[in-house]
Amino acid sequence: MADGATAQEPELFETRLDVHDRKQFELKLEYQPSGTDKQSQYFVETTLFIPRALNIGPDTWPREAFYADLHNYVRLSTPDLTFEQLCHGAQSPLVQLEQRLVTGQPGPDTELVYDAKMLGCIMRGTLRRFTRTMKQECANCPGETEAPSPVFALARGGSESTKALLHRYRSVIEALGVRFPLGEKTRAALRLVDEYLSLLVEHYFRRVVVQMDSVPKSKPWLDLRRELMDVVVADENYRRSLALPSVLETRGDNEEYSHRVGFLKKFCQNILFLKVLRSSPRKAWEEVLFAIAAGSAMAFALGVGLFAQSRYPQASFNFFVIAVVGYMLKDRLKESLRRVMSVYMGRFLYERTTRILDPVTRDDMGVCHEKIDYGDAVVVPDDLQQLRVRDDLIAVTQGELAETVVRYRKKIVLNSEMLPRIADGMVSGVTDIIRLNVDRLLHDMDDPEFALDYVDLEDFSVDKVTMSKSYRLDIAFRFSVDDGRHQRTTMRLIRLVLDRNGIKRMNELTAACAVTAP
C-alpha cells in the first residue's frame, strides 16, 4: 500500500507496509529525489504503543537489543523498463550485452556480469508489473465468456516478449563464451543469471494463471491459460535438459528448489545494494560530557577537602568524617550528572549514524541518523493521538490503561546529484527496507488458545468452546519529505494482531493522510 501524491506533485516518497513473516513486519521506503535541490531530506517517525502486559521497556528491550531486532537494507531502486524498452531500448542491459558482441569489445568480465545481473533485476520488476496488470484486467471481466481483446493482446504480448528476451540472452552469452576468453567464474555467473531469468518467468506466469481462476473455464479463456502455461512448461523443460535441480516436484519438499530461488535472487540483486558504514557519534559526545561530570564531581570533592583542611587538623576525626562524606557525595554527584547529561543529550543527538556509499566508487550518496526514545521521553503529537481515537477501546487506552510508548526516529539526507551518475542514469531513487523482529514482544504472552465452558440451552449439556488469545500493537507512522520546493507530511496508523506464535495479521486503522506544505 503506497501513499499517493496529488496530480501536480512528483512522487517523492513512497511507503509500503506488509507482514514479512510470522515474526517480522516490513516497512519499505522509496526515496525519489526530484533533483530540484542538491540534497533531499526524509524523516521517518515510528511510534509503537505496546500493551503494558507485554513487559516491554528500556530494561527488557534496551536500545542495543532494539537495533539488533531492526534489520535494515538500503539499495538502489530497480529501474522500470517495459518489455519494449528491454528488447530495444538503448539503456537495456540486454541491448548493451549484444552491443559488446557487435563491437568485439566485451570489456572487463565484471561489467558483463553486472549487465547480466541488472537484466535479471529489471526483468523481475517488468514481470511483476505484467502480473499485476493481468490481474486487474481479468478482475474487470469475471463473467465474460469471451476473452476481451485487450486481455488477450496483453497476455500474448507479454509471453512473446518474454520468450524473445530469453532466447536473445541465451544466444548472446553463448556467443560471448565462444568468441572471448571469459573466466570460469564469469561463465558460471552468466549461467546463474540464465537460471534466475527462467525461474522468474515460471513464477510470474504461473501466478497469472492462478489469478485467472475467477474467469470462466470456457474455450477462449482456456486457450489463454494454455498459452501462458506453455511458457512455464517450456522453461521448466529447459532447466530439466540442463540437469538443474531447480525444477518443482509435485512430491517431496522441494528444498533444493527453494534454496536456489533464494540464492539466485540475492546473487542478482546484490548489485543494487549500497554499502553502509555505521558509527555512533553520540558515544564520543558522551565521553566528553561524562568527563565534564567527573571533573565537576572532583572539583566538589576537592572543595570539601580544602574546606575541611582549613577548619580542622588533618589528623583529626572531624577532618576524616568530612573527607569521607565529601567523597561519598562526589561519587553520587558524578553519577547524577552523568544521568542528567545523558537524558539531555538524548533529546538532541542521534544514537547511530550510517553513511551510504556507492559500492563501486565509494562516493557518499547520503547519510542516515537514527534514535530511539522510551516512555516519558516520548511526546506523542496531538495529530498522531487523534489517529487512534476510533472507538472506545482505543480512546480509554490513552491515559486510562497503561501502555509503553517506544519511538524510533530516522532522518535520511540524500545527495540528489549522485543518482544520475549510477547505472547510466537508469536509477531514480533509493529503496530503504526496514524489518522489525517482534519476537521479544512475545515472551510474556499467554497461550494462544484456551477453553471456555459452554452450556447448551436445549439439554443444558456442558461443553468447551475454544477461545483465541491475542494482543494488539498499534504503530503510528509519520513520513516527511523536504525536497527543495516540495514538502509533504504523511501519517498512517496500523495495528498488528499478535499471539504467542507471532503476527496473526496486520490491519490498517487509518489510511495514509497527507498534508502538503504550501
The answer on pLDDT for 399 being more than 60 is no
Provide the mean pLDDT of the chain.
Answer: 82
Helices (H), 39-148: 63-69, 83-88, 93-103, 109-139
Mean pLDDT value across residues 160-175: 94
Express each pLDDT in 462-512 by its tens digit.
Answer: 888 888 888 989 898 988 888 777 778 888 888 999 999 999 999 888 765
Q: How confident is the model at residue 374 (pLDDT cuts 50, 70, 90)?
A: confident
Q: Which residue has the higher pLDDT, 303 or 343?
A: 303
What residue has cell string 510470474?
204
pLDDT at 347: 64
pLDDT at 248: 87
Task: Report the alpha-carbon distance of residue 236 to residue 206 in Å, rounded.
Answer: 12
The predicted model scores a pTM of 0.75
pLDDT at 147: 53
Element (H, E) at 395: helix 392-397
Which residue pairs, CB below 8 angstroms and at least 24 apart, start in 400-405? Answer: 401/52, 402/52, 403/49, 403/50, 403/51, 403/52, 404/49, 404/50, 404/51, 404/52, 404/54, 404/56, 404/57, 404/374, 404/375, 405/47, 405/48, 405/49, 405/50, 405/374, 405/375, 405/378, 405/380
Q: Residue 155 in 3-state DSSP?
A: helix
Express each pLDDT in 16-28 by its tens digit.
Answer: 888 988 999 999 8
pLDDT at 267: 93
Q: Which residue has the higher pLDDT, 438 or 385?
A: 438
Task: Report the alpha-carbon distance of residue 298 to residue 257 in Å, rounded.
Answer: 66
Write down the domain spans for the chain.
Answer: 13-76+362-516, 83-271, 281-346
Task: Report the alpha-carbon distance of residue 452 to residue 470 in Å, rounded.
Answer: 15
Mean pLDDT value across residues 65-83: 88
Mean pLDDT value across residues 372-379: 78
pLDDT at 7: 37
What the block records as the C-alpha cell of 85 is: 524498452
Let me know how long the chain is.
518
| Cβ–Cβ under 8 Å, residues 372 and 406 | yes
The answer on pLDDT for 96 being more than 70 is yes
E-assigned strand segments in 383-470:
403-415, 430-437, 449-455, 462-468
The answer on pLDDT for 310 being more than 80 is no
pLDDT at 259: 93
Mean pLDDT value across residues 170-186: 91
pLDDT at 454: 82
Q: How confident is the model at residue 444 (pLDDT cuts 50, 70, 90)?
A: confident
What's the DSSP call for residue 140?
T
pLDDT at 204: 94
pLDDT at 195: 95
Element (H, E) at 44: strand 39-51
pLDDT at 169: 95
Which of left, alpha, beta for 508 (phi over 0: left; psi -120 to 50: alpha)?
A: beta
Mean pLDDT value across residues 405-427: 76
Mean pLDDT value across residues 254-261: 91
Sign of CA dihedral 119, 121, 126, 128: positive
Helices (H), 147-183: 149-179
Cβ count within 10 A of residue 38: 11
Q: How confident is the model at residue 107 (pLDDT cuts 50, 70, 90)?
A: confident
The answer on pLDDT for 516 being more than 60 is no
Least confident of 178-187, 199-208, 291-300, 370-379: 291-300
Q: Residue 145 in 3-state DSSP?
A: coil
Express each pLDDT in 278-299 by its tens digit.
Answer: 776 666 666 666 677 777 777 7
pLDDT at 10: 45
- Per the DSSP assignment, residues forming a β-bridge with 368 are 354, 412
